[in-house]
Amino acid sequence: MAENRRFLLVRRPSGEPVPEDFALVSGPIPEAPEGGLVVRNHFISLDPAQRGWMDDAPSYMPPIPLGDPVRATTVGVVHASNNPNFTPGQWVMGLNAMEDYSVAQPGGFTMPVDVNAVASPSNFLSALGAVGLTAYFGLLEVARPKAGETLLVSGAAGAVGSAVGQIGKIVGCRVIGIAGGAEKGRRLIEDYGFDVAIDYRGKSVEALAADIREAAPDGVDMVFENVGGDVMDAELLNLAHNARIVLCGLISEYNAPEKVGIRNLWRVLTTRSTIHGFLIADYADRFAEGGAKMAQWLGEGRLRVDEDIQEGLENAYDAFMRLFTGANTGKLVLKIA
Amino acid sequence: MAENRRFLLVRRPSGEPVPEDFALVSGPIPEAPEGGLVVRNHFISLDPAQRGWMDDAPSYMPPIPLGDPVRATTVGVVHASNNPNFTPGQWVMGLNAMEDYSVAQPGGFTMPVDVNAVASPSNFLSALGAVGLTAYFGLLEVARPKAGETLLVSGAAGAVGSAVGQIGKIVGCRVIGIAGGAEKGRRLIEDYGFDVAIDYRGKSVEALAADIREAAPDGVDMVFENVGGDVMDAELLNLAHNARIVLCGLISEYNAPEKVGIRNLWRVLTTRSTIHGFLIADYADRFAEGGAKMAQWLGEGRLRVDEDIQEGLENAYDAFMRLFTGANTGKLVLKIA
């Protein structure tokens, strides 16, 4: 019998989420509201930002209410529709939740996607979704790279970081990536074409800073920051004058009950650098432009965006936690249908 | 008998400077080098930046060599000259040191000043010097205020902060100042015309953040940051969207052996704000423009820049430390002649 399984947030995590913060429940498939639709979710995007939404803290989106399913971007098929713009059977993506079936209200973020144009519908959650667009607009519009400049990327083997580094190479930059472990370093060089890979694991701020200095003796012109904490402190010790830091994520801090913080902000002052808080949502009116360019580079083989596809809503917790253990090897997606 | 007393850095301070880090020595008056001059210093500028120069750390200027006098901006009179552009008896300002007589090399930063245009030659170290110009360019060129916006200033009762707040009022902003203690709060309101004064003393980050929120329920559009540490963390919790943070100083961190750091950088991300490292030296080619405007506002009675004049090179250490105890009540200047 068809049912709607839902992965609920039942308690706000204190630091690292534990299984008891969530509950998998089952209920009836919802009906389409007046003017809205019901989406059968096939692929669920698992993103660090979801951890922030679990906290009861001011942010760019309201916290996920306790008892609600965990908010997520999904790609799926229209199951029922009371909206003339959507037809059952049609593929769509939208801001829904970690559940089999989501209700999409009229005027929401749901939009049709052309799955025939891509290798897998999940691509709309990676290269052609928020991940790819974050890399595209964050690097090209916020950092504004010039050919010959040096770009430093943290979380470089991650979905966003690996795309940022590749786009940096496309536009003529020297690209240095920071990631954890030898295997990720190998992927940076061999799979994504970075010039230098630096392993942060087991290193003090000073030791990591020394490694960056060796790779970029004149300092780095741009930092694409996905990590924060000690990694960012080491980066700040290596800024060139007038460096631009794109503040895209601080994943090392999201689960930290006591945040490590940034101690080397004085280097931003002495180098006259700038830190730019960046959210991809602000570029919504240019998604088509960015998506077209990413699709072109993918088609030309100049860009590679890996996906780490986990399966089954019953594995939602374990899949989500791969974001924080460094286990994921590409854009993390949960396939549920 | 004429002599040259010099206040030397003999040991790099560990955290808060102690008297033993310095030595006051005496020697002969130097002679003017080929193409250079000797300046009899009258007024010495005491600035937080000097603390940074005492560390053996990369910065926008080389560290003060051990055994050298402490680098300082001074105003004084040409004592001897081998340079056709300077005449003995003429008033000049320049980047010299904490000593009775400084040798100025050709091509250095020494420039003539017109002491007849001001109430005291020390004004070239305050309203018409780096302090006033830092406030002027930092606020108007970096933060770029618009009338009706809310400006938050930390270290607001200090020399730079009080000028920033007053310029903010001149251009039509609502101005909130953070300073330590009731007397400084009184001065913010009564002497400098701030709209709101907040006392940070004895408050947690959360309590200070709540006070800022009460003063600016919709968040602050600009932060002029002189303090760093916990004060900055409280400010970051109150950023409006697209806020601009001018990073001018981090005085709470300069003497801290273990820096407190910034834990709320994530708020810069979620509000899409920007942090701009700022050094007044970058505006050197516009000092005349800024100085003229500051002089005009002073003359019109729209701007008040207080000076805290201490006396005697023998009191150099105690005078310098007033920067960090919060004892100073205006631009700190040491008068030695």
Give the tens place of pLDDT for each residue, A207-225: 999 999 999 999 999 999 9
pLDDT of residue B75: 97
Q: Which of B262, B275, B283 to mutate to test the interface with A (most CBs of A within 10 A)?
A: B275
Of A263, A277, A282, which is closest to B273 when you measure between CB atoms?
A: A277
Interfacial B residues in 275-294 facing A (CB < 8 Å): 275-279, 282
Of A58, A263, A275, which is closest to B268 when you measure between CB atoms?
A: A275
pLDDT at A280 over 80: yes
Would you place residue A258 in the very low, low, confident or very high pLDDT band (cuts 50, 70, 90)?
confident
Burial B65-103 (b: 16+ CB within 10 A, else e): eeeebbbbbbbbbbbbbebeebeeebbbbbbbbbbbbbb
pLDDT at A69 over 90: yes
State which CATH number among 3.20.20.370, 3.40.50.720, 3.40.190.290, 3.20.20.70 fits the domain covering B130-281. Answer: 3.40.50.720
**Fold of the domain built from segment(s) A4-119+305-335:** Quinone Oxidoreductase; Chain A, domain 1 (3.90.180)
* Structure tokens given for B125: 């170290």
pLDDT at A126 over 70: yes
The superfamily CATH assigns to domain A133-281 is: NAD(P)-binding Rossmann-like Domain (3.40.50.720)
The pLDDT tens digits along chain B (337 residues) read 579 999 999 999 999 999 999 999 999 999 999 999 999 999 999 998 899 999 998 777 899 999 999 999 999 999 999 999 999 999 999 999 999 999 998 777 788 998 988 889 999 999 998 899 999 999 999 999 999 999 999 999 998 999 999 999 999 999 999 999 999 999 999 999 999 999 999 999 999 999 999 999 999 999 999 999 999 999 999 999 999 999 999 988 877 777 888 999 999 999 999 999 999 989 989 988 998 899 899 889 999 999 999 999 999 999 999 988 878 788 999 999 9
pLDDT of residue A310: 97
Average pLDDT estimate for A43-64: 90
Q: What angle do CA A34, A37, A38 make, to 5 degrees?
A: 130
What's the rounded Cα separation, in Å, for the pair B129 and B107?
A: 20
Would you place residue A106 in the very low, low, confident or very high pLDDT band (cuts 50, 70, 90)?
confident
What does pLDDT average to over chain A?
Answer: 94
pLDDT of residue B1: 54
The whole-model pTM stands at: 0.87
Helices (H), A171-286: 182-190, 205-215, 229-236, 251-254, 266-270
Distance from CA of B202 to the nearest CA of A (A): 21
- The alpha carbon of B50 is separated from its chain's Cα centroid by a whole number of angstroms, namely 10
pLDDT of residue A58: 73
* Residue A268: exposure state from Cβ atoms within 10 A (0-12, 13-18, ≥19): buried
CATH code of B4-126+306-335, in short, is 3.90.180.10
Of A262, A274, A279, which is closest to B261 when you measure between CB atoms?
A: A262
Domain positions in chain A are 4-119+305-335, 133-281
pLDDT of residue A1: 54
Which residues, at least 6 apart from B89, have a Cβ–Cβ distance to it below 8 Å? Answer: B77, B78
Q: Name every chain B residue with its beta carbon within 8 A of the beta carbon of A276.
A: 272, 274
- pLDDT digit string (tens) for A286-337? 988 998 899 899 889 999 999 999 999 999 999 999 998 878 788 999 999 9
Q: Which of B54, B266, B268 to mutate to test the interface with A (most CBs of A within 10 A)?
A: B266
What percentage of chain A exceeds 90 in pLDDT? 82
- Neighbouring CB atoms inside 10 A of A33's CB total 14
Virtual torsion, Cα B312, B316, B321, B327, nearest 10 deg: 10
